[in-house]
């Protein structure tokens, strides 16, 4: 199934089988009620020539199979996030190899956790994440951990979802000394949290919006985006098949500031 995950549709009931979550799996479902959504599914929208000279990266999981990280870095990729955990028991089998491989190739890298708010509390999942790859250090090479939250509202009220997210964020900060980044879409955040602003002054926003437009739609409650996943059908030398492509809201100095928690 390597290289096909980002374009694989959800089951009709929107359920994501345990262990099968990855960044973007719930995006199509998230955005279905946004009639003005400008998603385009043409391969590899290229912001690399943007005059802002944004640093560009990828996000990966076991769906991508084996990755040649030296080739990825040679293709101009500066950063990568990779799936580490899901729920309180699952660990991505390719995480360790990807994490070491990216580091050795000079790719600034970080880990992400696929949230399962219906399975256990936010604190328990944050502890599982930190204990299995989600920790952080100020070394120029490690990005903050990411809470990947998307898909359905998991049967929770908006108040309950806010509480779950806050428990995860507070536990992550207590364990690592820095705030977790949040990956989501405008539609999910606005629907499932009511456009909550409770993390806007703390957590960098990683917004999913697959579009060739000049900028993404951002959730209510956040003033700006820090990372943008702009396509699920990207291509990068060293990775077979499609891969998610991302950009930072600035150049190399902004990327390093995000890694080192200096801005």
At 261, is the secondary structure helix, strand, or coil? coil
CA 81, CA 101: separation in Å to the nearest integer? 12
CA 133, CA 122: separation in Å to the nearest integer? 17
Placement of tokens 């996030």 in the chain: 81
Q: How many CA atoms lie within 13 A of 185 on its CB side?
A: 29
CA 132, CA 90: separation in Å to the nearest integer? 10
> Of 30, 86, 92, 148, which is the active-site residue?
148
> Of 30, 92, 150, 190, which is the active-site residue?
150
CA 54, CA 244: separation in Å to the nearest integer? 16
Q: Would residue 118 show up in a list of annotated catalytic residues for this protein?
A: no
CA 53, CA 67: separation in Å to the nearest integer? 25
At 204, is the secondary structure helix, strand, or coil? coil
Q: Would residue 148 show up in a list of annotated catalytic residues for this protein?
A: yes
> Of 30, 59, 78, 190, which is the active-site residue?
59
Residues 6+ apart with CB under 8 A from 58: 72, 77, 80, 234, 236, 239, 243, 244, 245, 246
Count of H-run helices and E-run strands, the chain: 7, 9
Phi, psi for 183 (deg, rounded to 5): -100, 125
Q: Which long-range contacts (CB under 8 A, 24 or more apart) does 95-99 make?
A: 95/132, 95/133, 96/133, 98/60, 98/67, 98/69, 99/133
Q: Which residues are known to be catalytic? A: 59, 148, 150
């Amino acid at each position: 199934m390597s290289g096909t995950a980002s374009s694989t549709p959800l089951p009709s009931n929107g359920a994501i089988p345990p262990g099968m979550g990855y960044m973007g799996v719930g995006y199509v479902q998230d955005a279905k009620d946004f009639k003005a959504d400008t998603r385009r599914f043409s391969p590899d929208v290229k912001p690399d020539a943007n005059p802002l000279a944004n640093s560009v990266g990828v996000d990966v999981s076991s769906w991508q199979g084996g990755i040649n990280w030296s080739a990825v870095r040679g293709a101009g990729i500066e950063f990568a996030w990779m799936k580490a955990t899901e729920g309180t028991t699952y660990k991505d089998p390719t995480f360790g190899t990807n994490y070491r491989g990216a580091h050795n190739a000079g790719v600034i890298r970080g880990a992400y956790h696929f949230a399962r708010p219906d399975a256990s509390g936010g604190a328990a999942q944050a502890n599982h994440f930190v204990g299995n790859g989600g920790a952080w250090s100020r070394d120029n090479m490690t990005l903050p951990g990411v809470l990947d939250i998307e898909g359905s509202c998991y049967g929770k009220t908006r108040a309950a979802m806010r509480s779950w997210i806050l428990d995860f964020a507070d536990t992550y900060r207590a364990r690592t000394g820095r705030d977790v980044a949040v990956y989501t879409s405008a539609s999910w955040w606005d629907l499932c949290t009511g456009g909550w602003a409770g993390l806007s002054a703390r957590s960098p926003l990683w917004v999913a919006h697959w579009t060739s437009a000049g900028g993404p739609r951002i959730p209510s409650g956040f003033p700006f985006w820090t990372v943008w996943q702009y396509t699920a059908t990207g291509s990068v030398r060293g990775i077979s098949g499609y891969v998610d492509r991302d950009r930072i809201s600035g150049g190399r100095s902004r990327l390093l500031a995000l890694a080192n928690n200096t801005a």
